[in-house]
Structure 1
Amino acid sequence: MIIERSTNWREDFFERFEQDGPWDSWTLYKMSYEIEKMNLIPEFSGLQAPKFLTNLQLLPHQVEAAQTVIEKMNGKAILADEVGLGKTIEAGLIMKEYMIRGLVKKALILVPASLQNQWVTELNVRFFIPAISYRKNTPIDHYDVVVMSMDTAKKSPHREKIYEQDYDMIIIDEAHKLKNHKTQIYEFVQSLKKKFCLLLTATPIQNDVFEIFYLVSLLKPGHLGNYEAFQSSFSATKNSLDGEKYLRELVNQVMVRNRRHDTGVEWTRRKVQTITVQFTEQEKEVYDMISELKSISSIFSSSFTMVTLLKEMCSSKEATFLTLNKMLQKCAQSEEKEYIEAIMEKLMNLEINAKAEKVIEIIEKAQDKVIIFTEYRATQAYLQWYLYTKGITSVLFNGKFSKSKRDWMKQLFRERAQVLIATESGGEGINLQFCHHVINYDLPWNPMKLEQRIGRVHRLGQEEDVHIYNLAIEQTIEQKILDLLSSKIDVFEKVVGDLDDILTRKA
């Protein structure tokens, strides 16, 4: 088609003026006028995007978060809302706003592999942003908005392809995975050009205060000083937190955090119980024998190995047996082998799992759907068998499952099974608001993993109070874990802000 400028427009205009027409449609003119008026951005404050998002009902805290990031943080921020408040919605809204204003065209979204398709669907359906999911050999230079798994992005040749692009915006979901500055993914993200950058995580601190330093440094290098200056000013934060107020002020300049109780949404309650369990005499005997291993064999001198075994013994004999069997192969001395074989024999003779019996009590009392979180796949298999012997239907969920199988397990749990038995991967990326009971069968060292687990059910759309049961065996390593969890929660709250209940509060 050839478009040429009319050379006789003046004659045409005077002819129509003298003859009073024919004129163009007044209706079409008004429609065209309204479209142009809508596309104008008369001022930079306020958001234009919400009026275009007809498939989305935005909540006030989500709009406020987006406006804060754009107007006060220059598009570089940590979105740290509590689990279930819609950080994905806030990120999509910010991206859409920048696109409308002509400031963002190309964007890269890095997410855990399990969330890749979910992000693509959200962006396309809710925000009308034509995002594509990156697969092997996808020509990313042909697409403006690409969603890619973190694990893929950090490796060659994908990393080099990304470096060749000029992205206007980088979004990273589950950004707490960047807490270790020595990892490949951290170094990769640090090297990216970041005009606008959003880090999404409900848990910006998981273990110690230095994790927030490295996250903030990705957005604004030097905002918290260099490492040495930060260490000298805030290393005491691990214990006394003398500079907590000043540090929180600095962090809040680059972080938006909404809590459930501050959103204006009526939330159901969390009812948290810490339930202590007593080993049987036979279980306690095996636990004590395992505790003595470090004095029997040099193989068990590693504190990590001992801690792992003690935690496994608090979980199931199956998980413990597998680890002991691996260690047995490394033993050179007969005395070591005999001692380990004696433990394994006693393990196999155990007929009762005291913690599993407590689980049955909770499930029978609940008379409802229940999620059980364990850290070991061997325990997961044992619990499914044990529940089956009690007439309780269950399905498994772990990181080894493909996405389609994970979706199938979720559907089976919703429609048929009473119990979902999940490993840690179940604490990420699935929404289960139809369930109201969470059993933390094994306690993690990291309190934020507890928050992630609970957040699978206590989120927008939950209509019932959520019951959380934290199981811990008396006079074992699990008592120490409870104390450490409380200490880490204290660090988080003093630097980031209050945390919803995940443990029974101490008086």
Structure 2
Amino acid sequence: MSAHEPFSGRQELPAALRGFLDRLAGAPVVDPVASALVDQAVAVLRRPGFDTLLSLPQLTFQPFDYQQETAATVLRRMRGRAILADEVGLGKTIEAGLVASELRMRGLADRTLVITPAGLVEQWRDELERKFGMPTAILSGSDVTPDGRGNGPVLLASLATARRDPLKSRLTGTAWDLVIADEAHRLRSTRSASGKLIRALTARFLLLLTATPVENRLQDLYEMISLVAPGLLGTPSQFRARHAAPGGDGGGVGSPRNLTELRARSRQVMVRHRRSEVALRLPQRLAETVLVTPDTDERDMYAELAERIRVEAKEATAARRIALRSAARLAGSTPAAAAPTLRKLGWTDLATAAEAITNPAKVRLLVARLGEHAARGEKVLVFTAFRQTVDAVATATRAAGIDAAVYHGSLRRAEKELAIGSFRDEKPVLLSTESAGEGRNLQFCHVMVNLDLPWNPMQIEQRLGRLHRVGQTHDVLLTNLACRGTIEERILHVLENKINMFELVIGELDMILGRINEDFDFEQAVFDAFTASEDGNAFGRRMDELGDDLAAARAGYLADRGTVDALVGEDDA
């Protein structure tokens, strides 16, 4: 019955109720649009404030207090637009994940986009799905419908892909609730393709993650802050007039004027923690490189392979160069790993020679080392990039009476869990491909051996991150095995002697590599240096030059870290 229909039993009702029905019958019809708006308003009012983080009970880990405080600060005081500028290794990803979780639980971030360097896309996916329980989807260059609906997945895109059409046009044509940009110092420049992309995106909430919001120009800070809070620092000319160093042109960092005021304004949109402030300590990382003298047949095979690659690469197509590079990497692991690729390249003589080497010197040394660790009751994680090497080493360890679990990407999920469980509970050794370097926390182990060396240093860091992370209670011992006279020996020389890679905090390496060039590819640079050199000595000189570039980048990174502390840190007491 509607409010305007007569009620047949009206006379039987009390007089007061009949009067109420009369007034109700004369009332205007309820507007369904207005009613819906009221319902929405009531729903908003019922949402709890940001004083309480709703997502904490649903997480699979316990965030540090300073990470929870950062999320609350960003949500309450900064209204979801902020720069997370913690030092490397303190968990900016965790802080951003907390903010995203809180906004999504309140229905405020149904459309969320994460833009990150290509090498970090999978890491973001793993963090958001495993730790926060948020579904994700990775956008590729062919994706043209990236806009999420309802409580859809968090969309992830590499910076290189996002700044190119057709994806760029779709991203910039979507009204996002939340955009998260990792390594956001790459977005500062208003003239770069990356800078133009971030400025073309529309988002209610925006998080910029970078440990170095300032590099070599005071203007860097202005551009970063203006992304999240346009107008906070005035116009560019007003900013220079107010804060540029006396006698300077306003470009360099120098000693800015009105530093206390600049810090105060920066802290309105920026959160920065230093390692010393949060007292976050990890055990030591003890790294050693063991150079192995190859047997004569190994040395001869590798030398012949290296010469053929150098000769053929000069005139090779792009596809053939990729195959040649793969062969070089495989040969640096074990002959057994290289043999199938050598045969596909048409080098059957080399493939036959590789197959005949069934017990290479590096594997013999590894097995001896594993026996020593097992005798001391130490668990050992052995990494290799290739399945063929895992199989060869598994055969060798069995022959030596060493019980080893095996982990690789071809295993089903249940088999992977079984391998990790047996390594944790009973077996002293885990032989693994890179797949255990993605998302697995193995802090119950503190000894790791790189049987072969990835040419991409970020993969080396990812491997090490499985053990050297929060929760590890022992010093971590890392052993790198490399045969003398190989490309891997030269790579280790550069990484150890030029930038002290194995002393860096997890995350600092990417900061250094990114300073060489926005799209710098270390692996490609190594192969180019190798194929452009007429012999090993020339290759060594080219690698030293590459190492000098890395050393300069590391020095610049360390200097900029101090500059950031001076510009956005707390005032001295």
Alpha-carbon spacing, 1:139–1:244, altered in 2? closer, same or farther (3 Å): closer
Give the one of 188, 198, 202 matched to 1:193. Answer: 202
1:380 aligns with 390
Give the one of 35, 48, 51 matched to 1:48. Answer: 51
Distance in 1 between the 2:418 and 2:322 partners?
36
Contact 2:51 2:72 in 1 (8 A): no
Distance in 2 between the 1:289 and 1:424 partners?
28
Looking at CA atoms only, which structure, 1 or 2, has the larger radius of gyration? 2
Q: Trace 1:100-179 onto structure 2 (pairs within 5 A).
A: 104-108=108-112, 110=114, 112=121, 116=125, 119-120=128-129, 122-123=131-132, 131-132=134-135, 143-144=150-151, 146-148=153-155, 150=157, 166-171=175-180
**TM-score (norm. length: structure 2):** 0.55
1:75 aligns with 81
Offset of residue 279 of structure 1: 1.0
Q: Counterpart amino acid of 1:365?
A: E
User: 3-state DSSP class of the match of 1:392?
Assistant: coil
Contact 2:407 2:436 in 1 (8 A): yes
Offset of residue 313 of structure 1: 2.1
Offset of residue 370 of structure 1: 1.7
Stretches of structure 1 that go unaligned for 5 or more consecutive residues are: 9-35, 41-46, 125-130, 179-183, 224-242, 247-251, 329-339, 499-507
Alpha-carbon spacing, 1:167–1:402, altered in 2? closer, same or farther (3 Å): farther
Alpha-carbon spacing, 1:388–1:261, altered in 2? closer, same or farther (3 Å): farther
1:361 aligns with 368
Tell me, yes or no, if structure 1 residue 436 matches structure 2 residue 453.
Answer: no
Q: Trace 1:335-374 onto structure 2 (pairs within 5 A).
A: 340-367=347-374, 368-374=378-384
**TM-score (norm. length: structure 1):** 0.61
Question: CA offsets per residue over residues 43-69 of structure 1, 9 Å max, x none?
Answer: xxxx73459846775424424654776
Q: Trace 1:484-495 onto structure 2 (pairs within 5 A).
A: 484-486=494-496, 487=498, 490=551, 493-495=554-556
Alpha-carbon spacing, 1:295–1:67, altered in 2? closer, same or farther (3 Å): closer
1:451 aligns with 461
% identity of equivalent residues: 28
Alpha-carbon spacing, 1:49–1:295, altered in 2? closer, same or farther (3 Å): closer
User: 3-state DSSP class of the match of 1:168?
Assistant: strand
Number of equivalences: 404
Question: CA offsets per residue over residues 435-454 of structure 1, 9 Å max, x none?
Answer: 11111222223333222211
Contact 1:80 1:255 in 2 (8 A): no
Tell me, yes or no, if structure 1 residue 90 matches structure 2 residue 95.
Answer: yes
Distance in 1 between the 2:137 and 2:311 partners?
52
Q: Trace 1:268-417 onto structure 2 (pairs within 5 A).
A: 268-294=283-309, 307-328=325-346, 340-367=347-374, 368-401=378-411, 405-417=415-427
Higher mean Cα deviation, 419-428 or 474-483?
Answer: 419-428
Alpha-carbon spacing, 1:282–1:273, altered in 2? closer, same or farther (3 Å): same
User: 3-state DSSP class of the match of 1:167?
Assistant: strand
Distance in 2 between the 1:173 and 1:394 partners?
38
1:333 aligns with none
2:434 aligns with 424
Contact 1:82 1:258 in 2 (8 A): no
Higher mean Cα deviation, 449-458 or 73-82?
Answer: 73-82
Contact 1:321 1:347 in 2 (8 A): yes
Between 1 and 2, higher relative CO (CA 8 Å, sep ≥ 6) is seen in: 1
Alpha-carbon spacing, 1:72–1:139, altered in 2? closer, same or farther (3 Å): closer
Distance in 2 between the 1:177 and 1:416 partners?
46
Contact 2:335 2:354 in 1 (8 A): yes
Distance in 2 between the 1:220 and 1:281 partners?
60
User: 3-state DSSP class of the match of 2:202?
Assistant: coil
